[in-house]
Amino acid sequence: MAGTDEREAAFYAIVDSDGRIEPRDDMPEAYRKTLIRQIAQHAHSEIIGMQPEGNWISRAPSLRRKAILLAKVQDEAGHGLYLYAAAETLGVSRDQLLELLHTRRQKYSSIFNYPTLTWADVGAIGWLVDGAAITNQVPLTRCSYGPYARAMVRICKEESFHQRQGFESLLTLTRGSAAQKAMAQDALDRWWYPSLAMFGPPDTGEQVSGGHTEQSMRWGIKRFSNDELRQRFVDMTVPQSEVLGLTIPDPDLRWNDERGHYDFTAPDYDELFRVIKGDGPCNAQRLAHRVAAHTEGAWVREAAAAYAAKQRAKTQTEAA
């Protein structure tokens, strides 16, 4: 039996050589716990994220858009399933994780606490929210934990597809009537800063988070800081907004030749922390909806378990 130091050295040897940690490998307990938290919260975000878009399935303005939206929300449930499965390789169960979500002991992305007030919001979520998610998640395809990295490869492919569909939906609006274009601009006005806030608190300053970043980088879970990713997202998104003919709601947004990046106004981090703590526009509604679906479905899950047990008993009797 190898000693703690040797096992830790073996772990860091894999991480430092850009290898993959697999479920049966030794890993520091803190690494395991951090990954469980991060993957679970990622899974929860997919599940809660079905609600704001699902809100428009019944009202989608063409059958083609309705089909695209249904397929997208179905994909999100599928992403949730992959991610819960990845988390389960770390020794927790999906039921435990859902319980943590339902009792507010684990979080989900702040963005899904904003309401979808018009059809254009569905396009804006595809373009901006999925765009921000991809910016965050593409580096995770190289994350040190194998099951998570592999889940992210599959998820990122589908998310890029959704992001293009969202952009195309907004493009159709901006090429449409004055009312449609106004609807698209209003959606951008409301979703811009919440999307920037998806990257988390700034790297420096009094609001910096509890020091997860440095440790996660050492472990090969995180490869870029929040502000680096936010900047990358802004640089990618501004030219797209120009193609759409929409105005980003930031008077101080401009290209900085010296930096080779856009300068922009940071999101309101006080608002971000309020939303993360549960006091955003839809936090109570989103959680109540999720808990209600789970609670009202309990009898169905119990029936499935009882039926499976009866079938097993029957098979055993027949075999005996």
Partner 1 sequence: MKDQYALALGDDALVLAQRLGEWVARAPELEEDVALANIALDLLGQARTLLTHAGELEGAGRDEDALAYWRDDRDFRNVLLVELPNGDFAQTMARQLVFAAYQYELYDRLRASTDATLAAVAGKAVKEVHYHRDHATQWVLRLGDGTDESRRRMVAGLDTVWPYVDELFDDGGNPGPALVAEGVAVDPATLREPWTAYVGTVLAEAGLEPPAGAAPRGGGRRGLHTEHLGYLLAEMQHLHRTHPGATW
Q: Which two tokens stand for residue 166?
A: 């969202």
Residues 275-294 that bind partner 1 (CB under 8 A): 289, 292-294
**Binding residue for partner 1, selected from 7, 12, 26, 70, defined by CB under 8 A:** 70
Interacting span for partner 1 (CB under 8 A) from 20-28, 125-133, 217-225, 295-303: 295-303
The Cα–Cα gap between 68 and 55 comes to: 14
Nearer to partner 1, 73 or 100 (CB): 73
Instruction: Give the CA count within 13 Å in the CB-facing half-sphere of 252.
Output: 5
111-150 footprint of partner 1 as x/- string (CB under 8 A): --------x-------------------------------
Q: Closest CB to partner 1 among 253 and 291?
A: 291
Q: Which two tokens stand for residue 258?
A: 């010296």
Q: Using CB under 8 A as the criterion, what x/- string covers residues 72-91 for binding partner 1?
A: -xx--xx-xx--x-------
C-beta of 47: minimal distance to partner 1 in Å? 7
Over the window 155 to 194, marking each residue x when it contacts partner 1 by CB under 8 A and - when it does not, the resulting string is --------------x--xx-xxx-xx--------------
Q: Distance of CA 230 to CAs 133, 189, 275, Å? A: 11, 18, 19
Shortest spacing between CB 140 and partner 1, in angstroms = 21
Strand partners, 21: 145
Q: Distance between CA atoms of 14 and 86, rounded to whole angstroms? A: 19
Distances from the Cα of 28 to the Cαs of 12, 19, 25, 45, 130, in angstroms? 10, 16, 10, 26, 32
Smallest gap, in angstroms, from Cβ of residue 255 to partner 1? Answer: 33
The answer to whether 39 contacts partner 1 (rule: CB under 8 A) is no
Should residue 251 be labelled a site residue for partner 1 when binding is judged by CB under 8 A? no
CB 269 within 8 A of CB 207: yes
List own/partner pairs for 74-77 with CB under 8 A and 24 or more apart.
75/158, 75/162, 76/46, 76/47, 76/49, 76/50, 77/46, 77/47, 77/50
Rounded to the nearest 10°, the torsion over CA 214, 93, 80, 278 is -60
> Binding pattern to partner 1, positions 211-250, x when CB under 8 A?
----------------------------------------
Helix (H, G, I), strand (E, B) or coil at 256: strand
65 in contact with partner 1 (CB under 8 A) = yes
Note whether 47 and 290 are within 8 A (CB): yes
Which of 10, 14, 57, 182 binds partner 1 (CB under 8 A)? It is 57
Q: Where does this chain bind partner 1 (CB under 8 A)?
A: 47, 50-51, 54, 57-67, 70-71, 73-74, 77-78, 80-81, 84, 119, 169, 172-173, 175-177, 179-180, 289, 292-294, 296-304, 306-308, 310
